[in-house]
Chains A and B, each alone.
Chain A
Amino acid sequence: MIDQGLRSELQKQGVFTTTLEEVYNWGRANSVWPLTFGLACCAIEMIAASMSRYDLARFGAEVFRPSPRQADLMIVAGTVTKKMAPLVVRLYNQMPEPKYVIAMGACAISGGPFKQGYNVLKGMDRYIPVDVVIPGCPPRPEALIHAFMTLQDKISNQKLTGPDRPRHLVENALSEFPVPVYGEHDLVPPSNPKLWQPPVLVR
């Protein structure tokens, strides 16, 4: 690994040095293509973020893909009902690695104002791994951009080797998650215990 001081000294002389990891992550972080996928009112803010006023294209994410096969990022924008949850998990499974998930808004995080209802999934993280969460009801486009930059930071800082390398570089790593089925009273299973455990409250 090249020393940071030497590196900046070389840069002043017109010699640019880098690592494969940096180039690789730089490319990945600046062309994240989200899936065209909205569930409720948060999707309106997501649309606003992608339009000219907020212009998500500045971050390389202007290409909302109409197919999960071409997408890197799933923005779960809105209330996930229990009827919709298996379809969301299936879409996620159809995305190729590396893939990331932003849970946008209170509903996608925990069910939000519909949390005490019978028909709303209480958080998308019960079935798929969520990388960035944005609170808000709905979050403003700036918040989505902030979440996007947070995701870019996360991608840029991923190590390509070692034990904490991203999932897509681990051989035989799990990249598909079990799709819940419609049960007689609830989704079966109600959550994926490998991904999500209820928090233990200390009272």
Chain B
Amino acid sequence: METLEQIKARVEALWPNARLELIANESPSGQRSLLVDNASALRIAEFLRDDPELHFDYCSNVTGVDWPELVTQTKVKKKTVVDGVEKEVEETVETRRPEYLEVVYHLYSIAKKHGPVILRMRTENRADKANVPSLTPIWRGCEFQEREAFDLYGIVFDGHPDLRRILMWDEFKDFPMRRDYVEPDDYEYEPTPHDEVMEKAKAHAAQGGKP
């Protein structure tokens, strides 16, 4: 199979406007992925499926990732000249990661017996612009899995033929897999609470509920 760099180069040769990015993976698996921009995602997906060399005819898995806004402060030592004397001064540098939702597709080729290639797409934010293009027109098997990502993460797939909740009921308003999801307080008697369950029990008791 071609490497991700080769695939990226070929796509960029076909569509110079397409913005692709290789996402590194620090974990032992080292499985890298290809971040594609939403505007050209559908074309790229079609290319990956129809190209005779790549021929990714099977989308095995669609999942979502929630990335809330994260501000990290790191201390950096800087050398500055104060009153003619060189001094080392510590400065705190704030790095801000914007909030977004991410969709991950795992593609395999059953005909060519290769894969996976991992595609990623990102939404603009987590609230009103949580849109990505649906790849169900390319791989029909994505339909239910995209519905699941919509149900649990609130990712809106533009162009999906039937975007409804699939696991939770239609009247449900929350997105349970998001990190800021607050679950309903239907605390059940727990004989030996510990860790997160203990915190849950204490929060329940603090609200005046019976422990």
Contact = CB atoms under 8 A, between A and B. Distances in A.
A68 interface: no
Contact of A116 (B169, B181, B197): B197
Given A116-B200, A119-B167, A111 B172 contact: no
B186 A190 contact: yes
A119 B211 CA distance: 21
Contacts of A190: 184, 186
Given A116-B200, A118-B176, A200-B210, A186 B169 contact: no
A199 B210 CA distance: 8
Q: Tell which of B200, B209, B210 has the most Cβ of chain A within 10 Å.
A: B210
A136 to B, nearest CB: 17
B186 A183 contact: no
B55 to A, nearest CB: 38
Nearest to A121: B186
A185 B174 contact: yes
Interface string B171-192: 1111010000101101111000
Interface string A159-188: 000000000000000000000001111100
B171 A199 contact: no
Interface string A76-88: 0000001100000
Contacts of B188: 110-111, 115, 122-123, 198
* Majority secondary structure, B binding face: loop
A203 interface: yes
Interface residues of A, number: 22
A201 B172 contact: no
B170 interface: yes
B168 interface: yes
A201 B189 contact: yes
A192 B21 CA distance: 54
Given A118-B176, A201-B211, A185 B169 contact: no
Given A110-B188, A190-B184, A119 B210 contact: no
A151 B170 CA distance: 38
Interface of B: 167-174, 176, 181, 183-184, 186-189, 196-197, 200, 209-211
Given A183-B171, A190-B186, 11 more contacts: A116-B200, A118-B181, A118-B183, A119-B168, A123-B188, A182-B169, A184-B172, A185-B174, A198-B189, A199-B189, A200-B210
5 contacts: A118-B184, A122-B188, A182-B170, A184-B172, A198-B187
Interface of A: 82-83, 110-111, 115-116, 118-119, 122-123, 182-186, 190-191, 198-201, 203
